[in-house]
Structure 1
Amino acid sequence: MTVLIPINKIYLNLGSKISIPNLSWLEFENILEELGEKRNLRLAYSQQCLEIMSPLPEHERVKILISDLVKIILKVQRKPWEALGSTTFKNKTMEAGIEPDECFYIKNHQAVIGKNRLDLSQDPPPDLAIESDLTSLTEITAYQKLKVPELWVYHQGKLTIYILQEKEYKKSSISLNFPDVKIIEAIPKLIERANLLGSSQALWEFEENVKATQQSP
């Protein structure tokens, strides 16, 4: 006997995920509508596979710290930006959708000012997406299909930078958006300091270091 459960009735324990294969684009959009926007679950869709994830509390803490770090760099370097958090990005033509932990429009910030909904078949993708504890091939392929030029993945105390080159991600030691900041070293150190001294103190220290670096000849 087959038991059908409405998608909005499915409960996931914190830190768990489920995969739904062989899902059409229309079915994916119907699930997005059924779940609504006010939810703790995050979705990724690519190659007709949907993943639904329930982040852990520490996952949220790390993503906020990394997002704050990015904002400090942008502020010190006086670069304009638009931060869109975990907005749902999708492209019907590419049949891909993703909800990043955090994302930033930097180079293309003017293109999204005042917009509450984005369609990547018409709008540019974010210049930078951030994921904490990303381990899914579905998520990586979704970012590739949506042509997000730079992706940061923090996992088990290590940061990996992916740069989009010829439709595929390549690991890089240098950030495309912040080539003069040692991002790979800075983020693990920030999180370590936050665990030791608290988030505010760690972020103050980081800001002072960035300012000192910018002022040095």
Structure 2
Amino acid sequence: MLITANLPLNRDKFTQEDQILTITGANWSDYQKFDSQEYSGYRVSYFNGEITIVSPGRNHERISEVINRLIIAYCEKYEIQDFPFGQTRLNVSGQTGREPDIAYAFNCDKDLPDLVVEVIFSSGDIEILKSSYQKIGIPELWVWKNNKITFYYLQQNSYIVIESSKILSRIESASFIKYVNRGMTESPLLIKRDFLTII
């Protein structure tokens, strides 16, 4: 029976913010049992014996969608072939696995994306995120958290912070974030229009 009355919960908060479940003491076999069709709409990751299940809230999805549309707009403007991965599970068997918010290969189709974008809205450990994608071998990682976006580039098996994307070279983190954060209150159509004037 579903109880709907008089609960001390802010229902609006639960629709806007991410819901996160962490399972400790897990192994790789446990992680593999999480089928993407059975858990559609969830992001499931594995690192160091922990499975994390994220149900993205509305704000998370809005930020992700704005970033996605701006990347597509950039590729269209400069005629860069893009090959989306969506939330395809990326992993190093037995070690780490992630289902990114956004992922693309550029210029030609590849086994791994060139760029992964992750939105951390309610909570999340950036160092675990970086360690995971470093093991997988993702060349460039963008992380949005607390209304800021940081670009990381994989160099000598470690991520360094960069101000401008190495892959989409006209995008700078400092200016890009101004357009991304407008997604909380504005239509992506208007944001994309303005973004295309500065790249």
Quickly name the TM-score band, shorter chain normalised: 0.7 to 0.9
- Any stretches of 5+ residues in structure 1 without a counterpart? 1-12, 112-122, 211-217
Question: For the Cα contact (< 8 Å) 2:63–2:181, is it kept in 1?
Answer: no
Residue aligned with 2:171, SS = coil
Q: Quick check: 1:85 aligned with 2:86?
A: yes
Residue pairs, 1:149-168, within 5 angstroms: 149-168=139-158
Matching residue's letter, 1:105: A
Residue aligned with 1:159, SS = strand
**Alpha-carbon offset, residue 167 of structure 1:** 1.8
**Alignment RMSD (CA, Å):** 2.0
Aligned equivalent of 1:177: 167
Q: Deviations over 1:110-148 (max 9, x none)?
A: 23xxxxxxxxxxx3x210000112632433321111011
Residue pairs, 1:1-217, within 5 angstroms: 15-30=18-33, 32-33=34-35, 36=37, 39-92=40-93, 95-107=95-107, 109-111=108-110, 123=111, 125-133=112-120, 135-136=124-125, 137-182=127-172, 184-195=173-184, 197-210=186-199
* Structure (1/2) with the larger helix percentage: 1
Cα distance in 2, alignment partners of residues 15 and 197 from structure 1:
20
Q: 1:192 to 1:25 in 2, by over 3 A?
A: closer
Cα distance in 2, alignment partners of residues 159 and 40 from structure 1:
23
Normalising to structure 1: TM-score of the pair? 0.75
Question: For the Cα contact (< 8 Å) 2:62–2:183, is it kept in 1?
Answer: no
Question: For the Cα contact (< 8 Å) 1:161–1:171, is it kept in 2?
Answer: yes
Question: For the Cα contact (< 8 Å) 1:82–1:104, is it kept in 2?
Answer: yes
Q: Deviations over 1:138-195 (max 9, x none)?
A: 333211110111000111111101111222211111211022332x123321134445
Question: For the Cα contact (< 8 Å) 2:87–2:102, is it kept in 1?
Answer: yes
Cα distance in 2, alignment partners of residues 92 and 208 from structure 1:
43
